[in-house]
Structure formats: structure tokens, C-alpha cells
């Protein structure tokens, strides 16, 4: 029995939990203004950390789904992602790109958002760099961005579209503020992109034109025999090509 004690004490899990508990107690101790445990800064910090650990497991789950079942959207899914290590390298690359912009997020929040981008992209079969390129064109990674047409957040979603999609995803809708939450915005935006991908039969330029112009308006353009707006799709695809070839 004794020989297993050192292994348990020195295990990464035990060490991590010890550090977290010490951090938890110390921050709560120096936060006398909090009236309860749930109001303390340590509770908020630990909640974020455990959410991130859970999110990493979710990423691994989606990774396994694509390479075992080969489902959903292979047209966009990157061929370069072949291992957990390649996902970690991809996340590092995405964070390097995002951190070069004024996101109005903390470093910790940026890393969390990077993980969400990868997880939600893989859920629907998108290359995360493809979603990143769209996000760059839409908002330059500013999670508080508002367009002149009142599209909101990282992926610039119109409130009426966001509310409808939030209902489909069982995401609580709290008005426009919901779309300023970067995690929620990404979940809704990637789901919207996925619906457009199926609707327009995996045609990249059509999907991107619909995302920018609106699917109904785009269909009306097609029925009227008018020229399609192709500048936006080309802009996104150019960014995508740049990010895909970038060495970091």
C-alpha cells in the first residue's frame, strides 16, 4: 500500500488540484467583500479553468468523430489535422493570429475563445482557419463589434437571426447582449454557417455570399438573374489561404 502513496502525491492530477485549492483559498481569503463562495473571484477563476478543461475534452471528442465516422462536412475539413498534437499546434497558430488584434479580451479569454473556435468548427466539419478567416473579415476579432446594419459580435450576426438560431441550439436568449458573448457568438455563427453550407450544397462562394448578403436576399438575386456579390467570398477565401499557408 505504501509504495503507491508517493505516486499518488506526485501525480499531475494531485499536484494540479493542490495548486488550484491553494489558489482558491488564497483568493477567497483576500476577497472579503464577497458574501458567499459563488461571489468570490477564486470561484469565477476556477469555474473558467474547469470549463476550459471540459472544452478540451470536447475537442478531442469531435476529433475522434471525424476520423472514426467521417461524418458531416468533409469539403471544408482540413486534411492537415491528423493528431492531437496538430490540434494543439493549430490552436497556438490561431491564438498568435488573434492576439495581433484589439480583441478587447484578456489573454486567458483569448485562449478560451481559440479553443471554442476549434471545437465548434470541428463539430460541423469546418477547417478552424476557414472560420477564423471569416471572423477576421467580419469583425477583426473584436467581440464588441457592431456593423452599420447592427450585426453584432465576432461573427457579425443579426439579432433576429441570432435569436432564431439560439432557440434551435437551446441557448438562452438575453437580447443583443447574447451576441456580445464571444463563446455564444461563435456557437451560433458556426451553426449558421453549417446550415448555409447544406442549403447551398457545399459551394464555398455561394455559402459565403449567403452569410454576408443573407440567404433569402441571395436567392432573390439568383431568381432575378442579377450578378452575385463575389467580392466578400473572395476576400474571406484569400484570408483563409493566407492563414493556411502561414508558418508559426
The three state secondary structure string of 65-97 is: HHHHCCCCCCCCCCCCCCCHHHHHHHHHHHHHH
Catalytic site residue 231?
A: no
User: CA geometry: angle at 112 spanning 108 and 167, to 5°?
Assistant: 135
Whether the pLDDT of residue 49 is over 60: the answer is no
Is residue 175 very low, low, confident or very high in pLDDT (cuts 50, 70, 90)? Answer: very high
| pLDDT per residue as tens digits for the range 106-149 | 988 999 999 999 999 988 889 899 999 999 999 999 999 999 99
Is residue 248 very low, low, confident or very high in pLDDT (cuts 50, 70, 90)? Answer: confident
How much is the pLDDT for 80? Answer: 52
Q: Which residues contact 209 (CB under 8 A, 6 or more apart)?
A: 218, 228, 229, 230, 232, 233
How much is the pLDDT for 225? Answer: 79
Give the residues across from 152 on adjacent strands: 146, 157
Choice among 91, 110, 120, 138 that is catalytic: 138
Amino acid at each position: 500500500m505504501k509504495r503507491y502513496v508517493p505516486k499518488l502525491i506526485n501525480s499531475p492530477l494531485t499536484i494540479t488540484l493542490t495548486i488550484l485549492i491553494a489558489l482558491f483559498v488564497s483568493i477567497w481569503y483576500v476577497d472579503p467583500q464577497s458574501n458567499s463562495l459563488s461571489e468570490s473571484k477564486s470561484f469565477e477563476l476556477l469555474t473558467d479553468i474547469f470549463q476550459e478543461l471540459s472544452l478540451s475534452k470536447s475537442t478531442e471528442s469531435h476529433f475522434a468523430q471525424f476520423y472514426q465516422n467521417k461524418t458531416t462536412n468533409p469539403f471544408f475539413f482540413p486534411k492537415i489535422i491528423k493528431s492531437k498534437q496538430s490540434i494543439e499546434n493549430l490552436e497556438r497558430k490561431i491564438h498568435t493570429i488573434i492576439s495581433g488584434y484589439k480583441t478587447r479580451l484578456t489573454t486567458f479569454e483569448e485562449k478560451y475563445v481559440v479553443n471554442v473556435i476549434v471545437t465548434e468548427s470541428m463539430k460541423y466539419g469546418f477547417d478552424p482557419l476557414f472560420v477564423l478567416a471569416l471572423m477576421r473579415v467580419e469583425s477583426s476579432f473584436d467581440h464588441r463589434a457592431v456593423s452599420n446594419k447592427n450585426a453584432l459580435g465576432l461573427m457579425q450576426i443579426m439579432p433576429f437571426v441570432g435569436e432564431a438560431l439560439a432557440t434551435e441550439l437551446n441557448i438562452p436568449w438575453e437580447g443583443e447582449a447574447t451576441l456580445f458573448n464571444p463563446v455564444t457568438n461563435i456557437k451560433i455563427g458556426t451553426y449558421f454557417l453549417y446550415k448555409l453550407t447544406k442549403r447551398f450544397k457545399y459551394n464555398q462562394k455561394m455559402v459565403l455570399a449567403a452569410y454576408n448578403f443573407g440567404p433569402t436576399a441571395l436567392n432573390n438575386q439568383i431568381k432575378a438573374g442579377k450578378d452575385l456579390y463575389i467580392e466578400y467570398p473572395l476576400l474571406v477565401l484569400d484570408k483563409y489561404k493566407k492563414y493556411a499557408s502561414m508558418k508559426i
